[in-house]
Amino acid sequence: MPRLLVRDRLTWLTYAQLAVWGYFLYGFSPAVPLLRDEQHTSRTVASLHGTAFAVGGVLSGLLLPPLIRRFGRPAVIWAGLLGVSVSAVGLLLSYPLAATLTWVVVASTNGGLVVNGVTAVLADHHAEGGPAAISEANAGAAAIGLIAPLVVGAAVVTGLGWRPGLAVVVGIVVLVAAAAMIFRVRVPAGSLSASEIASSRLPRRFWLVWASILATGSVEVSLNLWVADVLRSHAHVSPGGATAAVSAMVAGMFVGRLAGSRLVLRLPGTAVMFGALTLSGAGFALFWLATVPWLALLGLVVTGLGNALHYPLGMALAVEYSAGQPDLAVARTSYAIGVSFGVAPFLLAAVADHIGPHLAFLLVPVFLAISAAAIGVLRRRSAVPLATVLG
């Protein structure tokens, strides 16, 4: 029987909170090549912004459990939104490399608190409908992320630069907070225990999900940070057009997450993940082979359709295989996201500086294969009783 998803005011609030981070992430990522041009750095040095995202991701994973225990989920999520806003203003006013790297760390740390807090809230609030709710929440983030590169690209085309386009996120936070006050929506505090914070005994199957998230995170961050560069160098798209064209991939992600939220109500999560990984590979092949803009954009849309479920379904699987420890599980997944954000863009950029971004992008299908292997092992172990797989 299909699982049910009943949306209430809390559901819509958490969707909006996650969308704030979606705007910042999808607005900043395609601006990295423009930032590289401003700062006159190599791709390898510019990729340090990916490393900064990674540092923030790890910090959020370390901070989330004790912060939730001390202050509760509502305070942590709202503080994270405030931190993202402050970071956007900091980037608006900052130009040196050290300053932009610092603000990205601050943004990523606070964004991680928002993402992981919202994920845990949705998993608890919707129970069996949690995976669908998480997918829909990320669809909303992708919808805002679809707008963000267009706004940033438009700001570039009109001569304002990318920074004012990114700073729009401050206004979005204000609107979300005002809506929460007007409609009197409260986020539940959660029930993280001291033993859950101290424990590292998550099931072994959780760590297979963790490995999959590491690989798919590497795919997403590599595409977000460098796909505009490949569009410029291989598909002959203008700088402003390439920045805005990232919206093609995000559009695919939006549609894919909406459709995926229906699929995960009816099919096993691992089966849906396999389909998503396959679709990503097909779309990437089309994008990578394309030498004209329209075909490259079509490839990005298909890639986005596949990528759509990598993160939300990975997070839902992490919670599902956490043995009833959702906050601890989402905190640990921050490490996977952090490593992927730190290592993958730096590795890709280092290779690209030697052989060019187009050939270097062949690392993406390698990451997809690693994720597929982890999910394959997970499927085989799913029938094993939980007591035999605890680490």
List CB contacts of 157: < 8 A, sequence separation 6 or more.
240
> Chain centroid to CA 315: how far?
10
Residue 2 inside a domain? The answer is no
Residue 1 inside a domain? The answer is no
Q: What is the pLDDT of residues 155-175, one digit of tens each?
A: 988 998 899 999 999 999 999
- Pairwise CA distance, residues 133 & 15, whole Å: 9
Q: What is the reported pLDDT for 20?
A: 95
Q: What is the pLDDT of residues 319-357, one digit of tens each?
A: 889 888 888 888 899 889 888 877 887 788 788 888 888
Average pLDDT along the chain: 86
Residue 4 inside a domain? The answer is no
Range among 190-194, 205-209, 225-229 with highest mean pLDDT value: 205-209
User: Across residues 69-80, what is the average pLDDT?
Assistant: 93
Q: Which range of residues forms the domain containing residue 176? A: 9-388
Residue 34 inside a domain? The answer is yes
Q: What is the reported pLDDT for 388?
A: 37
pLDDT over 80 (residue 195): no
Higher pLDDT residue, 391 or 227? 227
Other CB atoms within 10 Å distance of the CB of residue 344: 27
Q: What is the reported pLDDT for 241?
A: 74
Q: Can you give the CATH number for the domain in which 267 is found?
A: 1.20.1250.20
Task: Specify the number of domains making up the chain.
Answer: 1
Position 194 confidence tier, pLDDT thresholds 50, 70, 90: very low
CA dihedral 36, 42, 44, 46 (to 10 degrees): -10
Q: What is the pLDDT of residues 79-112, one digit of tens each?
A: 999 999 999 999 999 999 999 999 999 999 999 9
Q: pTM for the full model?
A: 0.78
245 touches 237 (CB < 8 A): yes
H or E element: which one contains 176? helix 162-182
Q: What is the pLDDT of residues 289-318, one digit of tens each?
A: 988 888 888 998 999 999 989 988 999 899
Residue 343 inside a domain? The answer is yes
Task: Give the residues across from 203 on adjacent strands.
Answer: 390
Residue 3 inside a domain? The answer is no
Residue 260 inside a domain? The answer is yes
pLDDT over 60 (residue 213): yes
pLDDT over 80 (residue 384): no
- Pairwise CA distance, residues 42 & 47, whole Å: 9
